[in-house]
Amino acid sequence: MTDYLVIYEQGDTSWGAYSPDVPGVFAVGETRSETEALMAEALAAHLELLRDRGLPIPQPHNSAGLVQVA
């Protein structure tokens, strides 16, 4: 199992998600929880399609951290 960084962004009326390691895969939902589930499904489906077609699987190379500001 591979972990991919996913960025979640809250908009005015919805949540969005994308992975910088897997371009073109994204999800939008009404709540963060819904968006997390949709993004997991989207990533899994995309990677399965790449495997089925014999295409290279992108390897994660991004990470995230928090910066504390006074």
Task: Tell me which residues of the chain have a pLDDT lower than 70.
Answer: none
The whole-number pLDDT of residue 43 equals 97
57-62 long-range Cβ contacts below 8 angstroms, 24+ apart: 58/21, 58/22, 58/23, 59/2, 59/21, 60/2, 60/3, 60/4, 60/5, 60/21, 61/21, 62/5, 62/20, 62/21
Q: What's the pLDDT score for residue 1?
A: 82
pTM of the entire predicted model = 0.89
